[in-house]
Amino acid sequence: MEKLFAVMPELQSVCADGLAEEVGEQIKNQLKEMSWKCAEEAAAVQTQLATRKQQKEQAELTMEKAKTAEREICVDLENKVNALLKAQEELTSVQKEQQILTDASRDEMLLGDELREFKEANRLITEEVFPCLLNGAWTEEEEKVEKLQGLKDYLNSIGTEKTLVAAVDGFGTCPAQRGEFDQMSIQCIEEELTQKRQQLEEQLLARQPAEKRREAELTGIQALVEICAQNHRRAEVEHGQVDVQVKEKTQSTRGHKLRLGKAAKALEQCLEQLKSHESEVAKLQEAMAAVDELVEKAKCRAATETAAAAEAAEPAPAAPAAPTTPEKFVETVSEEPSMKRARRESQVASPARIRC
């Protein structure tokens, strides 16, 4: 009864002592309808369960593919990082070599530049300043004074004798007014300028092989620096691209993980629903069995009550007549009703009849 009451608690007050057969059939029909409905719902859940399983399996497969792709792109990123580090090391190494070579060449380069500046200064004095003074070709007094001072400064810079430097002042007169000393000074200055020019040219000529070699080394190391810089920039770009891809793959994997979790949860809920419906069907079947027991119980009680009523309705036996026969016959006759009465009482009180 507890199983029946668990399904239909409203029957507790009407069927504690059993159920009539017609009522039991009505209740069983209700229970059957409930069972069929529950079974149909279980079948629908069973169909949904197959879909949920397929969705979960698909989500697991997609998740595994996403993890594989993420691992592959992470390996690619590691390679790009190593390539970037290698390019950075090569660039740094070449830049250091360039700096060392530049530092070692700086003094020689400065000396060569100074020699070329001295040669250019000698050319200006020899081709412009000295001819102008020699020919008296200045147009203004300021120009003459400037050129005289420029010639003096240059002669002092190359270590010309002081007397010869002082003789430059005589170049400020017109060529027709110059004396023999001035002509000798002009000749000496011309020799001094020519000798200085030849000396500079010889020094520069002697330096050419070393300068060309050094220039080639600097040009080569500069080209190598540019190549390494290009490799480094390319490695940075490739690393950045793969890094973006890794972030995208990681985000995608997180999304697939969430979808897999939702699919697993939906499958778990579907399984719980199916178990609930199956449990409900089992309870309804147990309740129908309980109804059968209650109907049988009511039948047994009714049979017992009918037998008792029939026993109560039987007439009492008549009193025996006065003995007119021999004594032994009287005892046999008077003994027979007692045995019948005992058998009837035994039938009424039989436990078998009560159980029925």
Tens of pLDDT, residue by residue over 182-192, are: 888 888 988 98
Q: What pLDDT, on the 0 to 100 scale, is given for residue 9?
A: 65
Q: What is the mean pLDDT of residues 26-54?
A: 84
Residue 315 lies in a domain: no
Percent of the chain having pLDDT more than 90?
23
In a domain, 311, yes or no: no
* Domain count for the chain: 3
Domain's final residue, options 189, 216, 238: 238
Q: Is residue 283 part of a domain?
A: yes
In-domain check, residue 87: no
Kindly tell me if the per-residue pLDDT of 348 is higher than 60.
no
Q: What is the mean pLDDT of residues 105-115?
A: 85
Above 70 in pLDDT, residue 33?
yes
Is 141 found in the same domain as 178? yes
Confidence of residue 354 (pLDDT cuts 50, 70, 90): very low
pLDDT of residue 81: 94
How confident is the model over 19-42, as a mean pLDDT? Answer: 80
Task: Say how far apart CA 201 and CA 195 lie, in whole Å.
Answer: 10
pLDDT for 11 equals 61
Residue where one domain finishes, among candidates 189, 205, 238: 238
Six-digit token pair at 80?
């790009």
Q: Is residue 65 located within the same domain as residue 112?
A: no
Question: Is residue 198 scored above 90 in pLDDT?
Answer: yes
Domain contains 115: yes
Q: Does the pLDDT of residue 72 top 80, yes or no?
A: yes
pLDDT of amino acid 127: 87
CA atoms within a 13 Å half-sphere pointing along the CA-CB vector of 134: 16
Of 213, 238, 263, the position where a domain reaches its end is 238
pLDDT at 112: 86
Residue 309 lies in a domain: no
Stretch 143-151: mean pLDDT: 88
Higher pLDDT, 155 or 344: 155
- Select the more confidently predicted residue: 3 or 270: 270
CA gap 263, 53 in Å, rounded:
8
Kindly state whether residues 7 and 40 are assigned to the same domain: yes
Question: For residue 193, is it within any domain?
Answer: yes
Please tell me whether residues 227 and 252 are part of one structural domain.
no
Mean pLDDT, residues 23-48 taken together: 82
Q: Please, which pLDDT band fits residue 229 given cuts at 50, 70 and 90? A: very high
Lowest mean pLDDT among 5-19, 59-73, 122-136, 165-179: 5-19
Cα 80 from chain centroid (whole Å): 18
Residues 31 and 67 in one domain: yes
Q: Which of 257-261, 265-269, 323-327 has the lowest mean pLDDT?
A: 323-327
Shared domain for 139 and 190, answered yes or no, is yes
* Mean pLDDT confidence for 162-185: 85
- Same-domain check for residues 232 and 346: no
Domain extent for 159: 106-238
Interval 214-223 mean pLDDT: 91
Same domain, 169 and 282: no
Residue 217 in any domain: the answer is: yes
- pLDDT above 50 (res 342): no
Among 164-168, 206-210, 219-223, the range of highest mean pLDDT? 219-223
The span from the CA of 121 to the CA of 114, in Å, is: 10
Q: Residue 314's pLDDT band (boundaries 50, 70, 90)?
A: low
**Res 7 pLDDT > 80:** no
**Pick the residue with more confidence: 110 or 6?**
110
Whether residue 293 sits in one domain with residue 269 = yes
pLDDT digits (tens, 9 = 90+) for 51-62: 888 988 999 999
Q: pLDDT tier at 346 (50, 70, 90 boundaries)?
A: very low
* Dihedral of alpha carbons 208, 210, 214, 220, sign: positive
